[in-house]
Amino acid sequence: MSELTGMIEGLEDSIRVPFLLHYQGYKYQEIADYLDLPLGTVKSRIFFARKELKDLIQKRYPRLALEAEG
């Protein structure tokens, strides 16, 4: 869990903050209102945070990526 936390902390603030708010249970519109951003921007940033985390995990644990494909 600490490795995952470290990966999340390593994300750029622009994608980390919306991702963490979404993880904490806030809805997209609530995040958009809180950060004063368009809804589409919030959705994109959360998508990019997920993608970057997925890539980081696959690089660190390539065997997991192979098992998921098989």
DSSP 3-68: HHHHHHHTS-HHHHHHHHHHHTT--HHHHHHHHT--HHHHHHHHHHHHHHHHHHHHHH-HHHHHHH
Q: Give the pLDDT score at 6.
A: 94
Interatomic CA distance for residues 54 and 13, integer angstroms: 17
**pLDDT tens readout for residues 26-55:** 999 999 999 999 999 999 999 999 999 999
**pLDDT bracket for residue 63 (50, 70, 90):** confident
Domains of the chain: 2-69 (1.10.10.10)
Full-model pTM: 0.85
Average pLDDT, the chain: 92
Output the pLDDT for position 68.
60
